[in-house]
Structure 1
Amino acid sequence: MNTYQELVEEYGSPLFVVDKKKLTSQFEALSIAFNRLYPTTIAYSYKTNYLPYLCKTLDSLGACSEIISGFEFDIAKKLGIAGNKIFVNGPYKPEDELEQLLAHKCHINADNLDELATVSRIARKTNRLCDIGIRVNARIGAIPWNKFGFNLEDGEAQNAVKTIADLGNLRLAGLHMHIGTNISNPDYFHHAVQKLLDFYATISSEMPLDYIDLGGGFPSQNAAPLPFSLDEWSVPPIDAYAQAICNPLRRFFLRRKKPILILEPGRFLVDEAVSLITRVIAVKTIGGIHSVFVDAGVNILPSSYYRTHKIEVINPPDASNTLTDIYGPLCMQVDLLESGIMIPKLQVGDLIIIKTCGAYELSQSIQFIRARPAVVCVDGKQVTLIRRPETMSDITSADCWDVIA
């Protein structure tokens, strides 16, 4: 494998680096842990990181695709993903997008009654029976995600099932629930499954399901959500999540037709497979603290606002650790990547590696002051450029220059 210094010399700094071996091992670990207990399909959450190279790599490993917008559907189509391998969620699905999704036979989880009415209207126009899933929510104990779907406790979900039956041209194909993100306690998933099964028991004789979808929310190990430090953040093995989810399913469907289990992970698959190389551009002492400035800012590492990352110093000139703040290059005081960490003392020109940068960094990055950098994928000794660095032409391509006097 090329050294970090060689990668920067060829592709520039900052630079995102995808570890294909790690990406593959994360997918395989998740798939094996669940499928040994219950038939499971993994649908990768595009919004987590919609780099086409990542999406296609996971497709080649056997993943389906989970999308929430027409933009992501366009990516999936361009990658040649079949509609029956696409699961569609989200509170807003415009009618023209729903028409395309239904025409491609995607799996749609409806979020509200208005959406059910729209799907029924499309079904009527095309003279067809449409399969539909519904998203539900419930009080699980974690932070509530009650913006989405139909509530199980107040009768909304039961009313949605009745509405589907009354419309006449829809068939309930699945139940979907996503309870949150970075969930470090598998018991929350156990409670969610039990809530779904209790609800399913009231309708299963009338409407046998094709799938039960538990969404995502599986955490990554090496980036801690604030206020946790890396030392305080502890994540159970993925097998613990598999047991919490699959054991209730196995018991419930012991003598019933088994719907397939759908998972929609994002962070677990891609977060630890991506790192960010950045170079020290200046050094100061601020308030008595050794403060270094690097060429990567919060515009490309937005999770710095709410989590802390593991930092690795490449060939440190001074091996002794010192209290350090790491600032980005942007003209804003909050452009602070890490605060109060103990790392080797850095000098201008040194390289540091910010670990666990695969989830929501690229998909939520912006071109504020600095353009977004290149992305490469490392697979053994092979290095592939999978996104070139942005140029001014990229950033201003949507601007109407011809109207400027």
Structure 2
Amino acid sequence: MYLHGTSKINDNGHLEIGGVDVADLAAKFGTPLYIVDEALVRQRAREYVDAFTKTGLKFQVAYASKAFSVKAMCVLAEQENLSLDVVSDGELYTAIQAGFPAERIHFHGNNKTEEEINMALEVGIGCFVVDNFIELHMLDELAAKKNNVVNVLLRITPGVEAHTHDYISTGQQDSKFGFDLGNGSAREAVVQASQLANLKLLGVHSHIGSQIFEVEGFRMAVEKVTQFAVAIRDELGILFSVINVGGGFGIRYVEGDSPLPIAEYVNAIADAIKSNFTAADYAWPEIWVEPGRSMVGDAGTTLYTVGTSKNIPGVRKYLAVDGGMTDNPRPALYQSQYEAVLANRANEEATELVSIAGKCCESGDMLIWDLKLPEAKTGDLLAVFCTGAYNYAMASNYNRIRRPAVVFVKDGQADLVVQRESLDNIVCNDVIPERLQKSSLAK
């Protein structure tokens, strides 16, 4: 059994996280329940900041809030001296409501609306990561109306494909994101941005994928970005002061996953920047990165209660829990794999192979296909590890199932940071038009 962060098995044979017995968490907050190991999140944040500090480069570590965006997480990020990237008005609003400094917010997205851009301008965010020509000119026009000059990075696709799932590869040429280096659109974007009075071009942004376990892709991306920066300097006399190499740093979900230490990713990026830019007689730019999954992924655990089971002799035994694809759609979307334990019987020998099914009315609602457990009973607690990233963030109300609560645990204390949805929450935005009212139908 591989345990992350502060997780351990206590004297009662129960899983304990942050000094709190998860059986106590289930009794107090109910299940399904997202549990976040706060100490581990802070540790990961400090690993990034410390590693970059040692490189001697100027830097910003921006937490990618799309991985897990709640007000408490924004507060934690601010306390750990992180910047923040957002991709919607909802993520931006969450950050502002949490009191996160607007000047440390970067706004991403391939289809920002006028409303979103105006909101970001009004609060004074630090940088827009511009994704296309339409946005480039819309941002300039909207900034002009407010007499603002705004910082921008241009998102470019460097033509580097990381070793990852097709759905989460974003650095290759055939992508919905960014200006392509190969066909000249990136160069043209620099030309146009430099001519727009209300934009200040800081540099470029490059993101090559997610769940990356090696550094060669980052080295190649830095090399291509450097070549582009040098060409722009030599042809147009424009210098980049910021290079954002994105995120994508992998974590361990299951046995066989082999992420590198955070410092190894950071050092590889820093060394590539120094060597390439020094060779080009180009001042070292400030480096920005955007870790999301690697900041919160292995700090999250989802706790379920076991319900029914179905045994098909010679085929499979299904064990159903009180959540599923509504709180974790990743297995259905990406065929993602997870490890889990019976949290209230964690010391017992695993004697049978089961498949963990969710409760949605959907055959594809499967969390784990093959998992060895002690013989589970109704009412047992199942803890699924590494659910801190893209689980709460992607949760839905399919089948009108309520989304779970979220708790932060640290030093024996558990704090609710997101309340469990109520049945009233489920229907609070529903409207029955007058013509469908019973009194109207009677007429």
Fold in common (TM above 0.5):
yes
**Which residue does 2:200 correspond to in 1?**
171
**Which residue does 2:136 correspond to in 1?**
116
* 1:31 is aligned to 2:45: no
* 1:298 is aligned to 2:321: no
1:262 aligned to 277, 288, 291, which one?
A: 288
d(CA) in 2 for partners of 1:358 and 1:320?
A: 25
**Which residue does 1:384 correspond to in 2?**
415
- Residues 1:208 and 1:83: Cα distance change in structure 2 (over 3 Å): farther
Matches within 5 A, 1:1-400: 1-37=19-55, 38-103=57-122, 104-142=124-162, 143=169, 144=172, 146-204=175-233, 206-221=237-252, 223=253, 230-254=254-278, 256-288=282-314, 289-305=316-332, 306-314=335-343, 315=345, 319-369=349-399, 370-400=401-431
Select between 121-130 and 148-157 the one with higher mean Cα deviation. Answer: 121-130
- Residues 1:116 and 1:7: Cα distance change in structure 2 (over 3 Å): same
AA aligned to 1:202 is A
AA aligned to 2:151 is D
Tell me, yes or no, if the aligned pair for 1:316 and 1:350 is still in contact at 8 Å.
no
AA aligned to 1:174 is G
Q: Secondary structure at the match of 1:195?
A: helix
AA aligned to 1:245 is I
Select between 332-341 and 351-360 the one with higher mean Cα deviation. Answer: 332-341
**Which residue does 1:226 correspond to in 2?**
none
d(CA) in 1 for partners of 2:341 and 2:349?
A: 12
Q: CA deviation at 1:233?
A: 2.2
- Residues 1:69 and 1:256: Cα distance change in structure 2 (over 3 Å): same
Tell me, yes or no, if the aligned pair for 1:317 and 1:346 is still in contact at 8 Å.
no
Normalised TM-score (structure 2): 0.85
Tell me, yes or no, if the aligned pair for 2:70 and 2:94 is still in contact at 8 Å.
no
Select between 13-22 and 38-47 the one with higher mean Cα deviation. Answer: 38-47
Q: Secondary structure at the match of 2:320?
A: strand
AA aligned to 1:165 is S
Q: CA deviation at 1:321?
A: 2.7
| 1:205-256 Cα distance to aligned partner (Å, 9 max, x none) | 62233321111111111x2xxxxxx333222222221122110212244464
d(CA) in 2 for partners of 1:9 and 1:167?
A: 58
Tell me, yes or no, if the aligned pair for 1:292 and 1:324 is still in contact at 8 Å.
yes
* Sequence identity (%): 27
Q: CA deviation at 1:81?
A: 1.9
Q: Secondary structure at the match of 1:309?
A: coil
d(CA) in 1 for partners of 2:102 and 2:414?
A: 31
Query: Is there any run of 5+ residues in structure 2 with no aligned partner, and where?
Result: 1-18, 163-168, 438-443
Q: CA deviation at 1:100?
A: 3.1
AA aligned to 2:101 is A
Q: CA deviation at 1:351?
A: 1.1
Q: Secondary structure at the match of 2:20?
A: coil
Q: CA deviation at 1:107?
A: 0.2
Q: CA deviation at 1:377?
A: 1.0
**Which residue does 2:12 correspond to in 1?**
none
d(CA) in 1 for partners of 2:82 and 2:89?
A: 20
AA aligned to 1:84 is E
- The CA RMSD measured in Å over matched residues stands at 1.9
| 1:59-108 Cα distance to aligned partner (Å, 9 max, x none) | 11111110111111111111122221001111111223223323414300
| 1:321-341 Cα distance to aligned partner (Å, 9 max, x none) | 321111112222211111122
Aligned length: 398
Tell me, yes or no, if the aligned pair for 1:319 and 1:345 is still in contact at 8 Å.
no
Tell me, yes or no, if the aligned pair for 2:74 and 2:100 is still in contact at 8 Å.
no
d(CA) in 1 for partners of 2:184 and 2:347?
A: 64
| 1:1-40 Cα distance to aligned partner (Å, 9 max, x none) | 3311111111111111111111111111222223322332
| 1:121-171 Cα distance to aligned partner (Å, 9 max, x none) | 224334444332110002113342621111111111111111122334433
